[in-house]
């Protein structure tokens, strides 16, 4: 079955699906969509005009969580939602936590202000970044840190979509210049480093770092003149 993923490689939601696709050894074509400069035709793919979206032989699916579920259901063999209803609920809860609680801070505040705003000629609202880092993010990170206590992954020994979803937001935080402090958040820091060394993730990161470097250069030139 042919799969086409529409998205931008620095989107944490697109990354979530790309890691899963690689983890499930699924081939796909990536069609680059810049969320801030979308082609008109993209409304036909996703009327909400957000990435990611996935085209399959049967139609189009939007939203990373729905895509993730579809890939899991359509290509059996992966264990990314765990093995029991309780594990599956835990994975979904942590995925939702990542997508709707971490994302507004890690991606839409830190990453966007530090990296994307300067690229688009907008100011970085450093006060908003500092407020997120010092006030809003710590309680969320503390909760996740505690959820990982004594465990290899969020489900214990079993790698899951929860690790991908949370890790994906932490990668955007890092792209925004904020590495997870390993003294304050040792479990999360360890999760990110284990995730980054998995083949499904390490194969994606060089391309991302290259793009982040180019964007930083572009923003610096733009600011200089
Ligand atoms: N809940 C959605 C969030 C997707 C999302 O917000 N994507 C951003 C890029 S990171 C986007 O396309 N933004 C464009 C816009 O909102 O106009 C998902 O999981 O797919």
What pLDDT, in 10s, does the model give residues 30-84? 999 999 999 999 999 999 999 999 999 999 999 999 999 999 999 988 999 999 9
Fold adopted by 85-219: Glutathione S-transferase Yfyf (Class Pi); Chain A, domain 2 (1.20.1050)
Q: Which residues are 112's β-sheet partners?
A: none
Is residue 225 very low, low, confident or very high in pLDDT (cuts 50, 70, 90)?
confident
Give the N- to C-terminal CA distance of the chain in Å, as an integer: 49
Q: Is the CB of 35 under 6 A from ligand 1?
A: yes
Residues of the chain with CATH 3.40.30.10: 4-74
Half-sphere exposure of 92 (CA within 13 A, CB side): 10
Q: Is the CB of 42 under 6 A from ligand 1?
A: no
Residues 199 and 22: beta-carbon distance below 8 Å: yes
Nearest by Cα to 63 from 26, 30, 100, 29: 100
- State whether residue 42 is helix, strand or coil: helix
Q: Is the CB of 50 under 6 A from ligand 1?
A: yes
Report the C-alpha gap between 94 and 165 in whole angstroms: 8
Is 4-74 CATH 3.40.30.10? yes
**To test ligand 1's pocket by mutation, which of 51, 65, 115 has the most ligand atoms within 8 angstroms of CB?**
51
CA of 51 to the centre of ligand 1 (A): 5
Q: Is the CB of 11 under 6 A from ligand 1?
A: yes
Phi, psi of 59 (to 5 degrees): 150, -160
- Total residues belonging to the chain: 225
């Amino acid at each position: 079955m042919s799969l086409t993923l529409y998205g931008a490689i620095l989107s944490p939601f697109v990354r979530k699906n790309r890691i899963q696709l690689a983890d499930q050894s699924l081939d796909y074509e990536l069609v680059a969509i810049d969320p801030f400069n979308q082609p008109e035709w993209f409304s036909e793919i996703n009327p909400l005009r957000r990435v990611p979206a996935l085209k399959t032989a049967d139609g189009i699916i939007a939203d990373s969580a729905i895509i993730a579920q579809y890939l899991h259901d359509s290509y059996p063999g992966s264990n990314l939602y765990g093995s029991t209803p309780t594990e599956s609920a835990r994975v979904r809860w942590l995925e939702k936590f990542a997508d709707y609680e971490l994302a507004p801070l890690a991606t839409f505040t830190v990453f966007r202000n530090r990296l994307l705003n300067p690229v688009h000629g907008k100011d970085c609202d450093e006060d908003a970044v500092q407020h997120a880092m010092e006030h809003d993010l710590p309680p969320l990170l503390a909760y996740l840190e505690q959820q990982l206590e004594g465990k290899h992954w969020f489900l214990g020994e079993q790698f899951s979509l929860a690790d991908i979803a949370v890790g994906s937001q932490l990668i955007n935080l890092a792209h925004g210049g904020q590495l997870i402090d390993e003294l304050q958040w040792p479990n999360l820091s360890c999760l990110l480093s284990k995730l980054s060394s998995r083949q499904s993730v390490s194969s994606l990161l060089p391309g991302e770092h290259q793009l982040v470097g180019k964007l930083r250069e572009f923003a610096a030139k733009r600011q200089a003149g």
